[in-house]
Amino acid sequence: MANEEDSIPPMQFYGPTDKFGFGQLSEIWRTRELLYSFFLRDLLIRYRQVVVGILWVLLQPLMGMLIFMGLFFVLGTNAGSSTVAFAPIILTGMLCWQLVASSFRDATGSLVNYRHVVTKIYFPRMLLPLASLMCAVFDFAIGSLLLLPVCMLTGTGLVWSTAWLAIPIAMWLILFCAGCIAWLSALNAHYRDVGYALPFVLQLGMFVSPVVYDVERLRSLLTDRWVWLYEANPIATCIGLLRWSLLGTQLPSVLGMATAAGITVLVCFSGLAWFQHADQQLADRI
Amino acid sequence: MSIESIQLDKVSKRFRLGATNEYGRLTEAIATGVKNLFRKSPEAAAIRVPDSFADRIEAGWFWALRDIELSIQSGEIVGIVGRNGAGKSTLLKILARIVTPTQGRVGVRGRVGSLLEVGTGFHPELTGRENVFLNGAILGMPRAEIRKRFDEIVAFAEIESFLETPVKRYSSGMAVRLAFAVAAHLEPDVLIIDEVLSVGDQAFQRKCLGKASQLGAQGRTVLVVSHNLAAVANLCQRAVLIRDGRLVADDVPERIIDQYLGEMRAGDGQRVWEDDESAPSSREIRLRSVSVTGNGSDAPASEVDIDQEIGIVVEYKVLVADTPCCVQIQVKDETGAYVFWSANAPSMNLEPDPWFAKPHPTGTYRSECRIPANFLNDTRYFVSVLVGPEVGIVSVRHDSALSFVVHDTGAMRQEYTGSWLGPVIRPRLNWRTKKQ
């Protein structure tokens, strides 16, 4: 038995290891296989009993783009900038917005919809909203491939020199979403109101972010202070930055970007701490 | 080789009583938060150091567990015994890390596997193969291990030809088999089993307990909650008794079971609620006593002969005039198996009860249910009493209000000398053989 005793795992005490919830990160890393299983499950379930299957991933942003292009065409207004074709502008906006909206929507319900498992077995609860986020990121990545044909069809040249920056910018947006869903999913487990309020918030969010219009149009209408406030929204800044890196539109203001970065960091850290706090009572309250 | 595997230090758990436990409202939380800002919340401090343990309920909180101290060595198989609602399941959930204790701390060495339910996380839309991987991962098996044991799991479940079929098209038996196959291949350092949830499938229960003893033999720690006292006695080397959220005894299973049954015996065939506070009551009805009679007399008896009629007598008080009352009893056996349910309703009665569901004037009433002789088996039965305005509706109840033992006098076993253990009832029926 002597050699067996050498490999005895240490006694682990349950409960938070630190106040800020950083312990959750290492736990998520340890259980990454389960995260993958949840991601796979969400992905597989979504396209079961669906005729065109995975094509929906491409159709959704494309339809969104066509609807708004049609709307603006009928209205006779141009919500884009003067230099770049409208189609790729709106497509980048649509892709980002669908990443935000679908991750928020799915992650918010993830704990509650899975409560029969949450109350029966332990695993890091954060995996559930994260799996929803991974699905949204998957859609985002596949949907991004649409940019190439859309740019070609509209004769828009991609700015290759800064295009690589699109990846860190997208990561920024994903990080912001992660922080938000940590808040939303745990809040919804305690207060179902969150789930009901979310659709309205998302509807509003779509219009206060440059999803279907370009920031350049807005700049001419607003004073600097309002532009700063507008760009403090990390979603707006990320969309603006993505367009800048891929299509060569105007860069968001440095002050706006700095504020947005600060807000992102704040949301992520507070999200971690809140999630850990909420997790303590999750099985009792859900 | 006595290494501590599980350690509980003064673990307590309380739950919120009432609706806020179910669905919280954000506005409410904000309102409470604002209130607390202006007031140095004295309640919170009072709850932190609960000094009055006389009652488990205090200021809207319910103490499910209190000051549990327990240390379990690796390789031990420990049974947890207690009545319904004593806090057994909460204790398991705390050990399985599902529920966080309000006070105290829990330490566990190694990987914990919990089987509080079969097929946790099975998704009906996914195929058998996908569910094996998902369920295995949720139970804590590494992917590589599932892959390695996949064929074994499938063979064990006997569902080879349905691997690519969504689980929603499985029969319930197939789904349970698959779920159990996954669980049976789990090899945790500490296994936690709640057998209550598997009631209804005897074969599964047996397999579950077999798995537990096998793991114990391998030097792993197993914790079992079971209503099946025989199983606890056979399987475990140690048992703990939980009563009203407290750990009251920790000993070899035989002694724990004796003590538990002694508590359940609750007097000599009767249970009387002397004072009004402790009696189960609603606004309209208050239970007074429950008793069992038999052996051909009207005196309460906790042990009755198998060949005599058994009476179950419920006395209750009607506090509000014109309350309709229907008296109902539930009889369960020692394993928790539900033997029968009965009420004084015409459809369940040989001759109609004139008081059934009639508006009762205030006063004390006595309802008696007669169970025929030569009907129950020679084992212990538990009686729960329920009173409500009509059948199936309950305003006052008391689970396992008392128990009684039916004794075999030999009247029904003149020819047969073997054991009658097993069947829930042993009715004397009408048999006739004819030569065709």
Q: How far is B25 from chain A (nearest CA, A)?
A: 5
From the candidates A30, A45, A122, which should be mutated to test the interface with B, based on the most B CB atoms within 10 A? Answer: A122
For residue A2, what are the contacts with CB-CB under 8 A and spacing of at least 6? Answer: none
Q: What's the pLDDT at A4?
A: 46
Give yes or no for A41 touching B (CB within 8 A): yes
Residue B101 lies in a domain: yes
Contact, B329 vs B341, CB < 8 A?
yes
Instruction: Say if residue B236 is in the same domain as residue B339.
Output: no
Q: How far is A95 from chain B (nearest CA, A)?
A: 28
Q: How confident is the model at residue B37 (pLDDT cuts 50, 70, 90)?
A: low
Q: What's the pLDDT at A131?
A: 95
Q: How far is A286 from chain B (nearest CA, A)?
A: 7
Q: What is the pLDDT of residues B101-112, one digit of tens each?
A: 888 888 888 888
Instruction: Say if residue B80 is in the same domain as residue B118.
Output: yes
Q: How confident is the model at residue B26 (pLDDT cuts 50, 70, 90)?
A: low
Domain count, chain A: 1
Q: Is B12 helix (H, G, I), strand (E, B) or coil?
A: strand
Is it the case that residue B201 has pLDDT exceeding 60? Answer: no
Residues of chain A with pLDDT under 50: 1-5
More reliable by pLDDT, B115 or B364: B364
Is it the case that residue B267 has pLDDT exceeding 60? Answer: no
From the candidates A32, A40, A41, which should be mutated to test the interface with B, based on the most B CB atoms within 10 A? Answer: A41
Select from B21, B137, B189 the Cβ nearest to the Cβ of A9: B189
Instruction: Say if residue B237 is in the same domain as residue B254.
Output: yes
Find the mean pLDDT for residues B291-299. 84
CB within 8 Å: A284 and B15: yes
CB within 8 Å: B100 and A15: yes
Q: What is the pLDDT of residues B41-71, one digit of tens each?
A: 334 333 333 333 345 655 667 788 888 999 9
| Closest chain A residue to B122, measured at CA | A117
DSSP states along B28-67:
HHHHHHHHHHHS--HHHHHHHS----SSSEETTEEEEEEE
Instruction: Say if residue B348 is in the same domain as residue B257.
Output: no
Q: Is B271 helix (H, G, I), strand (E, B) or coil?
A: strand
% of chain B with per-residue pLDDT over 70: 80
H-assigned helices in B79-171: 88-95, 128-139, 143-157
Q: What's the pLDDT at B148?
A: 92
Instruction: Say if residue B121 is in the same domain as residue B246.
Output: yes
Q: What's the pLDDT at B427?
A: 86
Residue B143 burial class via C-beta count within 10 angstroms: exposed 0-12, middle 13-18, buried 19 and up: middle
| Closest chain B residue to A39, measured at CA | B134
Reported in sequence order, the residue ranges of B160-225 that DSSP labels E, i.e. its strands, are: 190-194, 221-225
CB within 8 Å: B120 and A121: yes
Select from B16, B26, B98 the Cβ nearest to the Cβ of A191: B26
Cα(A169)–Cα(A173) distance, rounded to whole angstroms? 6
Q: How far is CA A141 from CA A90, A127, A138, A166, B210, in A?
A: 16, 20, 5, 11, 49
| Closest chain A residue to B16, measured at CA | A284
CB within 8 Å: A45 and B4: no
Residue B37 lies in a domain: no
Which residues on A lie below 8 Å from B125 (Cβ)? 44-45, 48-49
Cα(B165)–Cα(B56) distance, rounded to whole angstroms? 49
CB count, 10 Å around CB of B163?
16
Shortest CA distance to B422 belongs to which of B228, B208, B204, B199? B228
CB within 8 Å: B143 and A284: no
Give yes or no for A45 touching B (CB within 8 A): yes
More reliable by pLDDT, B294 or B419: B294
Q: Structure tokens of A63?
A: 């339809």
Q: What's the pLDDT at B364?
A: 92
Instruction: Say if residue B308 is in the same domain as residue B372.
Output: yes
Q: What's the pLDDT at B351?
A: 86
Contact, B232 vs B73, CB < 8 A?
no
Given B205, B227, B262, the domain boundary residue is B262
Q: How far is CA A167 from CA A4, A170, A241, A242, B348, in A?
A: 47, 5, 11, 9, 73
Residue A274 lies in a domain: yes
Q: Structure tokens of A86?
A: 């409208």
More reliable by pLDDT, B197 or A125: A125
Amino acid at B238: R
**Whole-prediction pTM:** 0.71
Instruction: Say if residue B278 is in the same domain as residue B400.
Output: yes
Contact, B141 vs B184, CB < 8 A?
no
Residue B423 lies in a domain: no
Q: What's the pLDDT at B367?
A: 92
CB within 8 Å: B3 and A5: yes
Find the mean pLDDT for residues B345-363. 87
CB within 8 Å: A122 and B97: yes
CB within 8 Å: A45 and B126: yes
Domain count, chain B: 2
Given B262, B284, B307, the domain boundary residue is B262
Q: What's the pLDDT at B56?
A: 60
| Closest chain A residue to B9, measured at CA | A13
Residue B303 lies in a domain: yes
Q: What's the pLDDT at A262?
A: 96
Instruction: Say if residue B305 is in the same domain as residue B233.
Output: no
From the candidates A24, A284, A285, A286, which should be mutated to test the interface with B, based on the most B CB atoms within 10 A? Answer: A284
Q: What is the pLDDT of residues A140-175, one digit of tens each?
A: 999 999 999 998 888 888 888 888 999 999 999 999
Q: How confident is the model at residue B20 (pLDDT cuts 50, 70, 90)?
A: very low
Is it the case that residue B162 has pLDDT exceeding 80? Answer: yes
Q: Give me Rg for the CA atoms of chain B.
A: 25
Contact, B397 vs B293, CB < 8 A?
no
Q: What's the pLDDT at A96?
A: 95
For residue A124, what are the contacts with CB-CB under 8 A and spacing of at least 6? Answer: A24, A27, A28, A31
Which residue matches tokens 């992520």?
A268
CB within 8 Å: A120 and B137: no
Q: Which domain holds residue B303?
A: 270-407
CA dihedral of B397, B400, B402, B408, whole degrees rounded to 10: 130
CB within 8 Å: B93 and A187: no
Instruction: Say if residue B323 is in the same domain as residue B252.
Output: no
Residue B60 lies in a domain: no
